[in-house]
Amino acid sequence: MAVQSKQKQLDQIAADIVKNNVCPDLAQTASRLVMGDGSPDADIVFVGEAPGKKEDETGIPFVGAAGKFLDEMLASIELKREDVYITNIVKYRPPNNRDPEPEEKKAFFPYLTKQLAVIEPKILIPLGRHSMNAFLPDFKISQVHGKAYRRKFPIEGVEKQPVILPLYHPAAALYNGGLRETLMSDFASIPQIIKNIT
């Protein structure tokens, strides 16, 4: 599928979120919808929890301090933002950067799976436990970070399910130096995992 038509489909999903009035309370307190950033044709999709203040201002996911660290980790495996796709489960910033509520994640999840159906990534990387639990509900991130899983979850119309590779959230590494090394090391395995898939 041409990249342009994929982008059109992603734009349509964003329009549907607005039209269907998903999480109106969140929409009211947020400045804008933060849909995603990067290549609609990416092999790798990163999924965070929800936009923060900077993301709400710019409309681009992962642009604050955690985003800078994500960029640094991408560079460490010779990738740029343009090579991957970055999104969040919840597409509006929760007030005061609180954690997204379970019902907010549930309301947005079908739109996330539609995004994944359009992009068809080889590898899906949930960042942090909130995001991981949407795909691997019974897992603890401290036990499974950096391990690749094949798990069935509903992406309509997609033959090959992506491999799921849970990682710690880059923000966690900003407050915990030990996690920074763990994340860098988990990240270093991504190219090999992709090679093994293809």
Q: H or E segment at 125?
A: strand 123-126
Q: Whose structure tokens read 């994640």?
A: 105
Task: Return d(Cα 111, Cα 86) in angstroms, integer.
Answer: 14
Supply the pLDDT for residue 151: 73
On the CB side of 21, CA atoms within 13 Å amount to 2
Supply the pLDDT for residue 153: 63
> What is the mean pLDDT, run by run of 10 residues, along the chain of 198 residues?
84 97 96 96 96 95 94 96 97 93 95 94 94 91 92 65 93 89 95 87
Q: What's the CATH code, domain 3-197? A: 3.40.470.10
Structure tokens at 112: 């996330």
Supply the pLDDT for residue 150: 83
